Amino acid sequence: MNISIEMKENEQVTKVRISGEIDAYTAPKLRENLFQLSEKAGAVMVINLSDVTYMDSTGLGVFVGIYKNICSNNGKLQLLGLSNRLMRLFEITGLTNIMDISSEDEGEAK
């Protein structure tokens, strides 16, 4: 169970590409890497999940926490590249109704 997190940060947008599995073992690493960035005022974060092969509810919890932080600090979060399986997971939980989520691989935060 491995996870790889690549981040490119400039003054306006933090682009993140996650690869591997997001589960109870890897979610703490994901949270540790992204949570501090989500607390910046006006943060804009674009997270590409096209290389994520598996995610469980622990991973969903990390994204909900990041989303709440970003929103409370007047920022924006966009999730890109969700596989059908990941998209279904977000749909079942109702998160597609509140988060900016796309199955497309490319894009910018709105």
Q: Which CATH code fits 3-101? A: 3.30.750.24
Distance CA 31, CA 20 (A): 15
Amino acid at 78: Q
Identify the residue whose tokens are 């998160």. 95
pLDDT digits (tens, 9 = 90+) for 33-92: 999 999 999 999 999 999 999 999 999 999 999 999 999 999 999 999 999 999 999 999
Contact 62, 22 (CB under 8 A): yes
Contact 44, 25 (CB under 8 A): no
With a cut of 80, say whether residue 97 has pLDDT above it: yes
With a cut of 50, say whether residue 110 has pLDDT above it: no
- What is the sign, positive or negative, of the torsion defined by CA atoms of 36, 37, 39, 40? positive
With a cut of 70, say whether residue 108 has pLDDT above it: no
- At 102, is the pLDDT very low, low, confident or very high (cuts 50, 70, 90)? confident
Helix ranges, the chain (H): 27-38, 57-72, 84-92
Task: Give the orientation angle of helix 27-38 with respect to helix 57-72, to 10 degrees.
Answer: 10
pLDDT digits (tens, 9 = 90+) for 5-30: 999 998 789 999 999 999 999 999 99
Q: What is the pTM of this model?
A: 0.90
pLDDT given at position 105: 62
Structure tokens at 75: 């920022």
pLDDT given at position 1: 67
Please state the domain extents for the chain.
Answer: 3-101
